Structure 1
Amino acid sequence: MATFSAEVFSNEYLPEGATDVHAIVQVRATGAGAGAAGGVPVGEAAEIIIFDNSGSMTGRNLEAAKHAASVAVDQIVDGTYFAIIAGSHVAERVFPYPNAPVAMVRMEPRARDEAKRAISRVQASGGTAMSSWLMLANQTFATLPPGIRKHAILLTDGKNESEPEGNLQRAIRAVQGSFQCDARGVGDRWVVSEVREIATAMLGSVGLIADPSGIAADFEQLIRSSMARGIADAALRVWTPQGAQLLFVRQVAPTIEDLTNRRTVVNPLTGDYPTGAWGDEEREYHVAIRVPSRPLGSEQLVARVQIVAGGQAQTSGLVKAMWSNDPSLTARISPAVAHYTGQTELATAIQEGLAAKAAGDERTATIKLGRAAQLAQETGNDEATARLRRVVEIDDAERGTVRLRTDTSRLDEMALDTASTKTTRVRK
């Protein structure tokens, strides 16, 4: 059976007049692998592989994508529902074949072989309209019974430019919450912000595959990770007392995802925030609450954070506040809160710095990326530092003194951008 545990990290002591409470809630799931979670048997999952077959994919990119799709098919566990979609300016179901009586079939050896045969016949043509890809995936998933884990992989190599402006955003809103989607871009002609918008809304990851030769390994890992999740869906449930204001709810590890605006009301004091499917893993959430200040010596429960799966609360973490005039208590900074506050600012600084650089505003880009270098140093994010060094010369990381490099490739900038929301854990 799957079990969840929660641990809260915060400084619960507030000085006189203080109102804001910040807490990191660490949630761990065990026994949640596929087949181990209560009520979720092996095979009750569905996978759709969506790959770009627009004209820009002609040649090596399409051949690599087709190979990767076949590799991914091999990783789908027998009994899992699956389908393959090819996307250009229109979306086409490659397998099951368009004339098949069902939109998805369960994986078994003959279906696996036939799916690979269908993938091998795909040709490149047309433009890129990702809204049609998402809508077809949603329609396909909708043919399944409720309660099944639904996951997709989306691969593109280009910009979404074959449909009216706003179509993609409308499609994302229409399918949000119906399935999860990990999105990948191959090469340097796609737009990170477009693909990130899809992945973020669909509770998935965004990633850069610099060379087509890397698609297969990435697809293989994504399918393996998806197959290992046994909890179809879970929500972070946050209760706050009357008179409190919930400032924000964010996932901060392993990646940063702002969940604040995705609240589903349970009752006037309680809301659910989607977290998607779970395997055996650990995630961390930053919850910020504003409450009216209370007299010195007062104590208050300012939030109760739970994980809800299968309609039942699985674990709880309590966020408390105590007002004190002891500066040795109130001056303490929770290492976890400080760390993830810095990591969130780091992601913002990187994205804003790269946007300024693309717009030709070198002064703002230097300031923002300098702050990013400083934050990466402070939070021990060595991966971010290494990626920053390919975009800027870091003269003094502690002070955030950098110079823009003149030999930076677009791939270097895209690699920094796509990885900007990946965080490091708090140093023990």
Structure 2
Amino acid sequence: MEERSVITTATAIEQSINSRYSFWVREALDELPHGFTITDPSLPAHPIVFASREFLKMSGYSTHEIIGNNGRMFQGVRTNRRSVMEIRQAVREERTIQVTLLNYRKDGTPYWILFHMFPVFSKEDGRVIHFVGVQVPIMPKPRRSGSEFSRVSLCETDAAVLGFCRREVCSDTVAELTRIPNLDLAADAETTETVWKVSDLERQGANNAMRSILSLLTHYSQLTGRLVSETRCCSTYMSGVGASLNISLGRIKQSFVLTDPHKTDIPIVYASDAFLELTGYARHEVLGRNCRFLSGYETDDSTELQITNSMQTGKACTVCILNYRKDGSPFWNSLYIAPVRNASGKITYFVEVQMNANGENRERNLRPEMSVVAAVKVAVRASGMTATTSNS
């Protein structure tokens, strides 16, 4: 089961680029003289799905060592925590950001970069499809102060040690980051403002790289008909689940979907990898649709009516319903549905947790669906919506 999950994740990472852009996009992106990565916030842990040839040269890693990992793999003990927090906040707010950052190569040597990150939006529904992180190396600006030169020397001398001390910045949540002591924070900030000050030429290089990358992504998305844009140009934002919430929900491994009762026909706005594996559908085939598309000829109408009544009254319910996978094969779905409410008591989402009643879970006297609901509650709260769940 674990091996199949790894294969599913690898396929999802590959399809993140292949399903949106035409076949030649990777080759075209590699021809650009810029170091950058592309990440997908809809996949668990917000992984890197593309790394340019120039970035591989800069970091010393190979493609297979980077793809599927989170960008924090390049951070270390002297990486400014405040900069990391600013990047995460930009992801949460789905906006562009430009910060200086101390990263580490594969061999452990540190190097300063101007990190320019920007979102890429779908023209279909306004969702954030990818984040692109451009990394422009910052050339040192020598000064006469001996202390400044000593800081650089210290940074280079300690490289071998620092390369193996990165656990501090590898936490998964903002809350964990805030508990980390801000060692060397003032020193790092001072160094950034002096020896490693960003020039206008380097800022212009980051902006030029952004325009070049966006131009290619736009062109190759036109060839597939699944257009992307640098701005959210769709007034009806279909997903309703921001990048930050997408990332948090991606850590929940069970099969579930999130539906939005405030949109027409209560569409799915988030689907977990386990749900896609259970049903055989791709993510783009699921989002925006009502869950009844899983029903078929022999699905009991009275069960569907029970689900509808539960949602209309805002109550949780458990049913066993006959559903169908994409290939047409039937399976008994032990379905648990619960509302997610905000601080004022208004329902913001419904969580629908699926379990294959034909499988081993049917014989277990456990309620994993409750842990999913609790985890969704935490994820929604962390995204800034302060929700509570209810079984009433």
Normalised to the residue count of structure 1, the TM-score between the two structures is 0.23
Greater strand fraction, Structure 1 or Structure 2 = 1
Higher RCO (CA 8 Å, separation ≥ 6 residues) = 1
Q: Which has the higher helix share?
A: 2
TM-score under structure 2 length normalisation: 0.24
